[in-house]
Structure 1
Amino acid sequence: MTISYENLLVVDGKITNEHKKHRIKLSRTYRIDTSGFFPERNANLYIATNLNKKYQFTEVEEGIYEPLNPFSAERNETYILHIETQDGEIFASDQEILTPESSLNEIAAAVEVNDSGEEIVSIKVSSATPNNDAQFYKFEYEETYKIVAPYYSNDSLEVYTYSGSISYRVTKVPRKIKSKVCYKTLYSNQIILTETTGLDKDRIENLPVRSFPTNDFMISHRYSILVKQFVQNYNAHNYYQILKKFSNSDNVFSENQVGFLQGNIKSISNPDTKVIGYFEVNNVSSKRIFINREDVTPFYPPFPDECVLYSPIFYDRGNQTPLLDFIKAGYIFYTDNIPVADLLNPEGPYTLVKRICGDCTVLGSVTKPDFWVD
């Protein structure tokens, strides 16, 4: 069976009423037997308005484009996205306007039991539209959680090998980078849509946007979620409704699709050339909450890996080097020897642990987010 493949441009981008450097991502489709992100490099990309404004974008990462200066989408203006690829293909979007305003009024977390009998944390949102003129919505979220290394030490081990000899010594030294506490941010990977057509009021009440088990590692210490509500127009909402049927992931922009779904971007240089994606101009509203573990469960969720302590000796009777072997395998210093830590090797001078158990950078970043509040 042969599956046809077309090398198509993929456009993933939107601008909003936020004053910032909006990002637009350009890539190429890939064959079904491959995976990854195939960036479209060196494109000339800009947005033009009916008021003769032009926002020039530049490539800040491979396939990622940002404007030279921050800006916000304004009412009473129309916006057209223009793209010229390095191969000379020219594309342009339909003319788009800023969608109506809607405020994300509340975001709340509650412990519930799902249909499978599992205890979960459910994140729900509520919003209202002042003029009842926003009926179509898309939601995205960013979730960040705190990670604490359970077997952290301020010290580490350095290995010194004597010149011309197999002999070595191991010295305890202060750790250069403190990595007890880290943070990890994840982004929504599903298309979350809702609409208020047919309702008496343009209001969203207690819409679930995210859920996870109460024993999820994310909730071990402190968790935060930022939910963004994008107001869409009918055409964009319909596009994403169909797109959602193809896949539950926003990465469908880079996947082989069942048939071809035409968005609001077309080729100018060759009308027969297809392009995947949609350019939106959204009114956005967002809210963030923080949740502590004790708010949802009295139990500590399991750590992602088993943390076993070892105290290997320098040399065994066969002139092997167990301590050196452990260090080479990625184990790190936890403390001076605890005799009962490992009954097999109680003689070693140091107690070691897997890096993931004593160095939080295996799971996240030591950089504390600007928004984080302890």
Structure 2
Amino acid sequence: MKTFKLLRLLAGLYLLVFITSCVEPFSPSTISYENLLVVDGKITNEQKKHQIKLSRTYRIDTTGYFPERNANLYITTNLNTKYQFSEIEEGIYESIESFSAKRNETYTLHIETKNGEVFTSNEETLTSESFINNLIADVEVNNTGDEVVTIKVSSASPNNDAQFYKFEYEETYKIVAPYYSNYYLEPYDYSLSGGSYKVRKLIRPVNKRVCYKTQYSNGIILTETTGLDEDRIENFPVRSFQTNDFMISYRYSILIKQFIQSYDAHNYYEILKKFSNSDNVFSENQVGFLSGNIKSISDPDEKVIGYFEVNSVSEKRIFINREDIRSTYISFPDECYTFAPTFYDISGARPLLDALLNGYIYFDENNNPNPDPLTPEGPYVVVKEICGDCTVLGSIVKPDFWID
């Protein structure tokens, strides 16, 4: 998704045709904006329904996602096969039927927008193959002295001709609410303006102790083997995080996807990566319009941002437990503490009701409430919702691939 956002922002800048250096001092007031189509699309040799995303550029002083709706999108081959796509979400188009890219076929993307604009890509062929043969998790010390887990990939090309690699990952981790209870408190018969109220303790209809969170890579991860004697990758670092990261508190899994790119596609993403890693987009290396392999048919002067790829893909998944890394240390993204608010205090306020209406939930019974008005305690122990309800951080739906 970060790549898609960068593509949209890139056209919004529109400073130069390509990357240049030693340019005139840049003034933000010189930025011009053009409403351009952004295409994020690839098909692979996987047998599945493929997706392509369409959106519009946005001004540099705005944020948001501007999907391109109601487009007619399809892919044709040199064998006169046509794969029609339909819009399944705003700006996300999915092939109506499953298919896989094949050798000795060429693929062309066609887009017709609701405004009558027509775009087409170059003919693209399926790239060479390279297969992931190993994933490892190394514990290392980085250059700032922090202990980190680094996920490394090794792969090899059987024909020694892959050369250009792009990686994406999906990581999923297990979340356990440290202060979970099978019960919850429900206030009733109350007014927000004050007065009396009642509270009842009920059984939770759904267990919210264990959840799972999946997140996706948001950067551009590239490497190449053009300068090597053999088309082989050994322990290439794809993902790193600190050993005390919350993700590794219980169990963590990562799926690495390796895409083989063409030379032109790789060069395109190398330029885009330089732009995304720049500390200052108005630096000496200024990025303007970055031309891909998609052009306008209806208007030769109309620009379009993005690239259509046909990739060979290989993927592999590993699981990591906390004890596999170093210790049994468990972190949590928030401070968890418990307290037992009273129904009322000496001023007539309603501490328990206020807590329940402001993000605190039941954790346990307070078997020894303290009646002392200086340090009062009520009958119920409460905790922040994030500490007692895992759905604040993830989903209770266990992924199909998950192995405990």
TM over 0.5: yes
TM-score by length of 1: 0.94
Paired residue for 2:332? 303
Cα RMSD of the aligned pairs, angstroms, is 2.0
Q: Secondary structure at the match of 1:245?
A: helix
Q: Secondary structure at the match of 2:233?
A: strand
After superposition, the C-alpha distances for 1:180-232 in whole angstroms (9 at most, x for unaligned) are 01111111111111111121111111101111100111100000000000001
For the pair 1:322 / 2:348, whether they are aligned, the reply is no
TM-aligned CA distance change 1:338 to 1:31, over 3 Å? farther
Paired residue for 2:387? 357
* Residue among 103, 115, 118 paired with 1:90: 118
CA distance in 1, matches of 2:239, 2:367: 43
How many angstroms does 1:327 deviate by?
0.5
CA distance in 1, matches of 2:387, 2:365: 16
8 A contact 1:149–1:360 mirrored in 2: yes
Paired residue for 1:68? 96
CA distance in 2, matches of 1:151, 1:121: 28
TM-score by length of 2: 0.88
Give runs of aligned pairs for residues 1-374 of structure 1, distance below 5 A.
Answer: 1-161=29-189, 166-248=195-277, 258-337=287-366, 339=368, 346-374=376-404
TM-aligned CA distance change 1:341 to 1:60, over 3 Å? farther
Give, as a single letter, the amino acid of the residue that structure 2 aligns with 1:196.
T
Q: Secondary structure at the match of 1:204?
A: strand
CA distance in 1, matches of 2:44, 2:30: 42
TM-aligned CA distance change 1:360 to 1:342, over 3 Å? farther
Q: Secondary structure at the match of 1:243?
A: helix
Give, as a single letter, the amino acid of the residue that structure 2 aligns with 1:364.
G
How many angstroms does 1:120 deviate by?
0.6
TM-aligned CA distance change 1:236 to 1:194, over 3 Å? same
Q: Secondary structure at the match of 1:228?
A: strand
How many angstroms does 1:320 deviate by?
1.6
CA distance in 2, matches of 1:299, 1:55: 51
Q: Secondary structure at the match of 1:373?
A: coil
How many angstroms does 1:176 deviate by?
1.8
CA distance in 2, matches of 1:341, 1:220: 35
How many angstroms does 1:315 deviate by?
1.3
CA distance in 2, matches of 1:53, 1:89: 23
CA distance in 1, matches of 2:30, 2:328: 52
8 A contact 1:109–1:123 mirrored in 2: yes
TM-aligned CA distance change 1:356 to 1:269, over 3 Å? same
Of the structure 1 ranges 316-325 and 129-138, higher mean CA displacement relative to structure 2 is found in 316-325
Q: Secondary structure at the match of 2:381?
A: strand
How many angstroms does 1:277 deviate by?
0.3
CA distance in 2, matches of 1:176, 1:27: 41
Q: Secondary structure at the match of 1:295?
A: helix
How many angstroms does 1:23 deviate by?
1.0
Moved over 3 A (4+): 162-166, 338-346
How many angstroms does 1:300 deviate by?
1.9
Consecutive unaligned residues of structure 2, counting only runs of 5 or more, are: 1-28
Q: Secondary structure at the match of 2:158?
A: coil
TM-aligned CA distance change 1:278 to 1:165, over 3 Å? closer
TM-aligned CA distance change 1:341 to 1:153, over 3 Å? farther
TM-aligned CA distance change 1:51 to 1:326, over 3 Å? same
How many angstroms does 1:317 deviate by?
2.1
8 A contact 1:226–1:287 mirrored in 2: yes
After superposition, the C-alpha distances for 1:246-294 in whole angstroms (9 at most, x for unaligned) are 1049xx9xxxx82111000000000101000000000000000000011
8 A contact 2:369–2:378 mirrored in 1: no
8 A contact 1:189–1:248 mirrored in 2: no
Give, as a single letter, the amino acid of the residue that structure 1 aligns with 2:387.
C
TM-aligned CA distance change 1:286 to 1:340, over 3 Å? farther
TM-aligned CA distance change 1:325 to 1:98, over 3 Å? same
How many angstroms does 1:297 deviate by?
2.4
How many angstroms does 1:341 deviate by?
10
Consecutive unaligned residues of structure 1, counting only runs of 5 or more, are: none
8 A contact 2:136–2:151 mirrored in 1: yes
TM-aligned CA distance change 1:342 to 1:368, over 3 Å? farther
How many angstroms does 1:338 deviate by?
5.4
CA distance in 2, matches of 1:194, 1:276: 23
Q: Secondary structure at the match of 2:168?
A: strand
